[in-house]
Structure 1
Amino acid sequence: MSDPLVTTTLARPARLAGQRLLTKRVVVTGGARGIGGEIARRFASEGARIVVLDRLVEEGTRLASEVGGTFIPVDLVDPLDTADATARAIDHLGGVDILVNSAGILRFSPLLEVTVTDWNEMFSVNARAMLTTMQVATRAMIAAGCGGKIINLASMAAKTGGAGEGHYAASKAAVVALTRVAALEWGTHGITVNSLCPGYVLTDMGAATRTDEDIATWCGYSPLGRLGEPADVAGVALFLASPDADYLTGQAINVTGGMVMH
């Protein structure tokens, strides 16, 4: 995609909720809405400078304006565009301290009906694009010599699976494995890499097929008796991005309200 980046002229909030990410340079994929959008908001409230990468131009531009950041459109199915957009984001920020890979797609299909096209699309966005953004960001982090943090959004499906979501669960299991290997390979450079495995979070993803009965059923699976909100995941992401998590790497952390306890 050749669209120009969109930079807002709004001043950053004068009063920040905190200072844990003050001056940190953050790239968030899938940051236009949902969990990624809430992470961008939370990080900005802690002083971070944000670049949002997403295919949703209108929503991404609006979110970037809200947090006083920058939006760059990207087609994550295209590895060249993914690499280019990530490099442009890092160049705009003058480096990168934190990469959050939140972009993902969800499709339901019985395994016997999953096509090669279905499989490739799922993995191209949920796993391959993540590898590309990590490669670009990590090279910049190593060159700067100041370490960094990478946070990848997986899913509880990576650990439990579920009928009708075989290719989705497999792609998210790939995220967990990719995270662990990256943590092993890049730890000597001071880079931590962790993944989050959210449970059923009430976002636009899956809303088209979600019924009130589905919500009631899923609420019953959590000891807390409710489903997750984007803020529940953003809070854990903030912990991982903060100095409090400097000695934590290679983990796949459940944010499931107790639906998964391992």
Structure 2
Amino acid sequence: MNAPSVTTAPRLSGSRVVVTGGARGIGGAIAARLAVEGADICILDRLVPEGTAHAAAIGGRFIEVDLLKPDDITRAMDEALTSLGGVDVLVNSAGIFKLIPLLDITVEDWNTMFSINTRAMLTTMQSAARSMIDAGTGGSIINLASMAAKKGGAMEGHYAASKAAVVALTRAAALEWGEHGIRANSICPGYILTEMGAATRTDEQIAEWTSYSPLGRLGVPDDVASLALFLASAEASYLTGQALNVTGGMVMH
């Protein structure tokens, strides 16, 4: 007797998703993974050629945005929500990273890091939450933090602080917006092999970090995308306010 065939429906069929920083790297992998599962994707990014090409490849949309300009973020979110007809999932993946000794961090360094990594995220969250509340359908907000938010890091004090703020901001959203059916969680990636990370690290550093992982490897963007898919789906309907690690065991709290 032949076993019955099992057809699995796309987990995000019909879901409207905005992904910031979705042109490449972790955000690009998340956008692609969610699109495969049936989501209608709108990528917001400053990288026009890369974002346009990636959006076309996954059957989505692309809108250029400058995350240093709050008014431009609001404009881009308004365009995205109009284009999609609303939003069910917001993924904040855009961010910057720079190595600077703590004694050398300037006010400009600090403000730029927080403007992109934290303030811009608040603006997109507010736009998405207002739309979700008005629609009365709830939704999922997924913010990319970092394991640096939990363990700190030498030469990256302003980066770690901005990502710790992301975790706190996400938990505040979970508490305030939960009554509207909005879930908010953050993902804390470890060493993920992306273009941004590779540009700032040597082969020796990468080899050293690999040795820290109980799994014996560094992460890849798809490792983060798998968790983002779960958080975006109905399977995570009772999960909110969490800061979930994707670190290969390098951080276990």
Q: Report the TM-score when normalising by structure 2.
A: 0.96
Counterpart of 1:151 in structure 2 is 142
Q: Choose which of 99, 107, 113 in structure 2 pairs with 1:122.
A: 113
Q: Would you say the 8 A contact 1:32–1:54 is kept in 2?
A: yes
Provide the rounded CA distance (Å) in 2 between the counterparts of 1:18 and 1:110: 50
- Per the TM alignment, residue 109 of structure 1 is displaced from its structure 2 partner at its CA by 0.3
Q: After TM superposition, where is structure 1 displaced by more than 4 Å over at least 4 residues in a row?
A: none
Residue 73 of structure 2 aligns to which amino acid in structure 1?
A: T
Equivalents in 2 of 1:86, 1:128: separation in Å?
Answer: 14
Deviation at residue 207 of structure 1 after TM alignment: 1.8
Which residue is 1:103 aligned to?
94
Distance 2:197 2:104 in 1: 19
Decide which moves more: 229-238 or 208-217. 208-217
Q: 1:195 is matched with which residue?
A: 186
Structure 1 residues 111, 18: closer, same or farther in 2, change over 3 A? farther
> 1:200-219 CA distances to partner (integer Å, 9 max, x unpaired)?
00001132222111111001
Counterpart of 1:12 in structure 2 is: none
Aligned to 2:251: 260
- Partners of 1:97 and 1:216 lie apart in 2 by 39
What is the percentage of aligned positions where both structures have the same residue?
71
Ranges in structure 1 where 5+ consecutive residues have no aligned partner: 1-15
Q: Distance in 2 between matches of 1:246 and 1:256?
A: 23
User: What's the secondary structure of 2:63's corresponding residue?
Assistant: strand
Q: How many residues align?
A: 247
- Over the aligned positions, Cα root-mean-square deviation in angstroms equals 1.0
Q: Which residue of 2 aligns with 1:235?
A: 226
Distance 1:187 1:123 in 2: 25
Task: Report the counterpart of residue 62 of structure 1 in structure 2.
Answer: 53
Tell me, yes or no, if structure 1 residue 38 matches structure 2 residue 25: no
Say whether residues 1:215 and 2:206 are aligned partners.
Answer: yes
Supply the distance in 2 between the matched residues of 1:137 and 1:208 (Cα, whole angstroms): 32
1:135 aligns with 2:132: no
- Cα distance in 1 for partners of 2:78, 2:237 equals 25
Q: Distance in 2 between matches of 1:230 and 1:211?
A: 19
1:55 and 1:147 map into 2 onto residues whose CA distance is 28
Q: 2:212 aligns to what SS in structure 1?
A: coil
2:68 to 70, 77, 81: 77
1:3 aligns with: none
Q: 1:19 aligns with which of 10, 21, 36?
A: 10
Provide the rounded CA distance (Å) in 2 between the counterparts of 1:111 and 1:214. 20
**Structure 2: segments with no counterpart, 5+ residues:** 1-6
User: Structure 1 length as normaliser, TM-score?
Assistant: 0.93
Kept after mapping to 2: 8 A contact 1:202/1:228? yes
Structure 1 position 17, deviation (Å): 8.2
